[in-house]
Amino acid sequence: MHHLILLLLSCFASLTHQACNPFDQESLLSFQLYIPSSSLNWPSSGDCCLWEGITCNASGNVTHLWLPSKGLTGTISPSIGNLTHLSHLNLSHNRLFGPLPITSFSTLIQLQILDLSYNSLIGEFPSTLLSNHIKLVNLSSNLFNGLIPSSYFQQAGNLMSFNVSNNSFTGPFPSYSFCSVRLLDFSYNDFSGQIPPGLGNCSKLQTFRAGFNNLSGPLPDDLYTATSLEELSLAVNYFSGSISNGIVQLKSLTTLELYSNQLTGLIPKDIGKLTKLRHLLLHINNLSGSLPPSMQNCTNLTTLNLRVNFLQGDISTFNFSMLLQLRTLDLGNNNFTGNLPSTLYSCKFLTAVRLTSNQLEGQVSPEIVALESLSFLSLSTNRLTNISNAIRSLMGLKNLSTLILSKNFMDEAMPDDDHITISDGFQNFEASGFWWLSTQW
């Protein structure tokens, strides 16, 4: 009885399924002609709903053209605009080139997913693609240029993910009056000017990347009201002004990348309220002041990079022992004073520490051997003393491959090589190695 039911269902399905719309089939064959080196091998006849990468609805209309990573080489045929029921188009990770058939996209009013990433397509943004159904647009890693009109976002009311990174888009940054988008990635382009107000209206925005552009001006205040943000990356631009303490409203933030800008002022005093923060990269700016005590409450930090700023204060007073997940610490090229912080030795997962070019003093404690995973250590250009003790202590770090201690230990003699042999430690040293220990300035 069970088998009979399955047979009846199968027969019913075969009766209700219609073969591919002939007009759609003709359009697909035209699409294939524009890709002469195609590995598709679609036949010139038969039901196109059964072809590789093709899905149809019950009426035989093509709804999915899904051909990522197929080695397709060629251009995109204008005939694609004839697939008026198309909802999913993915031609990513191929070798497609040339301009998009812009006018053809205006007929794809059912389109929900558009992924043309990782090709060599050229031309302007297909602003004719104004489907209210569109949810995902990924044009990243191509050769597109020109402007992205703000009007596009006003009409694409259901857009959830928009990625145009790694292209050559120019002009002002698009504005937003309302959006339901969750991901915006404009990084690695040539956008200029300020980020206009409006991002605060994107209440569902989780990822915002606009790094590696030519953006300038202050960080927009309403950005801090996009409280669903988990990743904020605006690195390598020309942003100026201070980082408002309002940023601590972004309670879900896990990644904050503002490095290589022209930011001034203090690190927000309440930054410790960002308890989910894992990556804090503020290096290469003009920040001043000391490490805010609240930062020790960022207990999920794995990467902390504040190098090349004007930070100061006694670093030994900061309690690193709360940051037990820390893997990478870079405070180099600042004006920190004091001894090497003993609380740092509680961070057992540290693999890289750079404290170079500060005003640190005192000795390297034998407790440093607690950092069993440490492979990179740079303490150069400070005021450390007792080179013999430093070397003996550091020899206990069995995974250390790079050690830079130059421009320390003034007027001290190098230890006698007869008393320190490579078999005692430093077995994993690479290019930098043991002999970066110069005591000369």
pLDDT tens digits, residue range 343-389? Answer: 999 999 999 999 999 999 999 999 999 999 999 999 999 999 998 88
CA gap 74, 83 in Å, rounded: 19
**Residue 130: partners with Cβ closer than 8 Å, 6 or more residues away:** 106, 152, 155, 156
What average pLDDT does this structure show over 128-143? Answer: 89
Question: What is the average pLDDT across 292-311?
Answer: 98
CA 190 from centroid of its chain's CA atoms: 17
- Give the type of residue at 77: S
- Give the pLDDT score at 426: 58
CATH superfamily for 19-146 is Ribonuclease Inhibitor (3.80.10.10)
Tell me what pLDDT residue 48 has: 92
Name the average pLDDT for the chain: 89
pLDDT of residue 3: 44
For 155-179, what is the mean pLDDT? 90
Q: Which of 3-7, 8-12, 106-110, 114-118 has the highest mean pLDDT?
A: 114-118
Asked if 403 contacts 426 with a C-beta cutoff of 8 angstroms, the reply is yes
Q: Which two tokens stand for residue 289?
A: 């002041």
What's the average model confidence in pLDDT over 214-219?
97
Instruction: Supply the pLDDT for residue 44.
Output: 82
Give the residue extent of every domain in the chain.
Answer: 19-146, 363-441
**Contact in structure between 271 and 287 (CB atoms under 8 Å):** no
Mean pLDDT of 301-330: 98
Rounded distance, CA 88 to CA 92, Å?
A: 12
197-205 own/partner pairs: CB under 8 Å, 24+ apart: 197/222, 198/222, 199/223, 199/226, 200/224, 200/225, 200/226, 201/176, 201/177, 202/176, 202/226, 203/227, 203/228, 204/160, 204/180, 204/228, 205/179, 205/181, 205/229
d(CA 340, CA 394): 14
Nearest to 320 by CA among 296, 298, 338, 339: 296
Give 65-83 pLDDT, tens digit per residue: 999 999 999 999 999 999 9
So what's the pLDDT on residue 153?
84
Distances in Å between the Cα of 56 and the Cα atoms of 28, 49, 105, 106, 437 are 13, 6, 19, 21, 69
426 vs 74, residue with greater confidence? 74
Please, which pLDDT band fits residue 4 given cuts at 50, 70 and 90? very low
What CA–CA distance (Å, rounded) separates 420 from 370?
Answer: 21
3-state DSSP assignment of residue 132: coil
- The percentage of residues in the chain with a pLDDT greater than 90, rounded to a whole number, is 73
Choose among 77, 108, 78, 82: nearest CA to 23: 82
Which residues have a Cβ under 8 Å from the Cβ of 393 and sit 6 or more positions away?
Answer: 364, 365, 366, 368, 369
**Average pLDDT, stretch 31-60?**
88
pLDDT score at 230: 98
Task: Give the three-class secondary structure for 11.
Answer: helix
Alpha-carbon gap, residue 311 to 332, rounded angstroms: 10
Compute the distance between CA of residue 271 and CA of residue 293 in angstroms, rounded to an integer.
9
pLDDT score for 315: 97
**Rounded mean pLDDT of 244-261?**
98
The average pLDDT across 398-402 equals 92
What per-residue confidence (pLDDT) applies to 36? 82
